[in-house]
Structure 1
Amino acid sequence: MSSQKKPVGVVPLGEVPEIALKVIAAHISGYYKLSVQILPPLEHPEYAFDERRFQYNAGIILKAFESMRFKDYDKIIGVLNPDLFIPIFTHVFGEAKQGGKFALVSLFRLGKNPDGSPSPSSLIYERVAKVALHELGHLFNLLHCQEKRCLMHFSGDIQDLDETPINLCRYCSTFLKDRLLRQSDNEESLKKLDKIPLNLLGSKERFRQ
């Protein structure tokens, strides 16, 4: 058993590349030392489509999650292809309820470089991992960080996301470790968590399709 009572669930909404789900699950397990399960797909969230914006309202999807049965999971990350927005932003890469249970990751804007050219698959999967880990951080009550070299720093566009490292700053690492330790309920979990470094280092190996 890992560092919590219940695993994190990664659930596709509609058709999502399986490798994207595996990348997210592997990074959550490898970086945060949490148990993870990839769940069967849910239906495409057509109910959240905004005809004026031709985007999907992330808040509506998160609200719908609250009525679904995920009692066997501590946190849920929904992964989908469509472009997401919230009313105060033109788009978001992901969205989460601060300190809550549910988060979203959109793949829509992660496949192209700032100049519009296609990105290599390794870079796409790195972006996917960053967004997922960032949103999961919010679920564990981490706020946006002022430190630019921190995973929890806000990324408004692809260039920001690419410049953001996949590791947390010392403050955010310490905060997250404390949250996970408080959530842990057995000695084995505590031993595993004790191995999390104060600065979560990114792997040099990237996922390849």
Structure 2
Amino acid sequence: MFTGIIEDMGVVTNLKKDLNNLHISIKSNITSELKIDQSIAHNGVCLTIVDIEKDVYTVIAIQETLEKSNLGTLKISDKVNLERAMKLGDRLDGHIVQGHVDQTAICTKVEETNGSWLFTFQYDSTLNNITIEKGSVTVNGTSLTVVNSKKDSFSVAIIPYTYNHTNFSTFKEGTIINLEFDVLGKYVAKLIELKK
């Protein structure tokens, strides 16, 4: 379980294909505090640490993860949003995030708005995921509030702190990002579907 509050930005140092899996090595400021078997969200994708060497750790993304997320598009030196699992009893500063990406989306617009930024994303609405105005959504693991909710797109407003402490600063038109829709909204949508 995560909160969508990014702790650090890691940098990809190595990528190694192994059959259908991808071994991803990441250098981060929190590596010294990590341990093997620990779960960490990478751009919102929960992955298990399998190796640690000095300030670099390695995780493995399997085929299903690569198909549903942007991790398969990573390159050496790319920045990755990182969050460790929440501790029981901590404040929930973001919202309930599972670390299970629902689908990817494409950044269609980046607009500087006099001290903040407005990012717009388009996604495949045939997968039955939805956003609602002022609801929660997770973009690359970052807990955000939806604005301009439409059937297949939405926007988020980003303050300077978030822009500078996540990989939002690397987004441009065409950037592929990971989406995790609000878990409560997914349950409501499923219940409505079952009643039909």
Q: Which has the higher helix share?
A: 1
Higher relative CO (CA 8 A, sep ≥ 6), structure 1 or 2? 2
Q: Which has the higher strand share?
A: 2
| Bin for the TM-score computed over the shorter chain | under 0.3
TM-score, with length taken from structure 2: 0.25
TM-score, with length taken from structure 1: 0.24
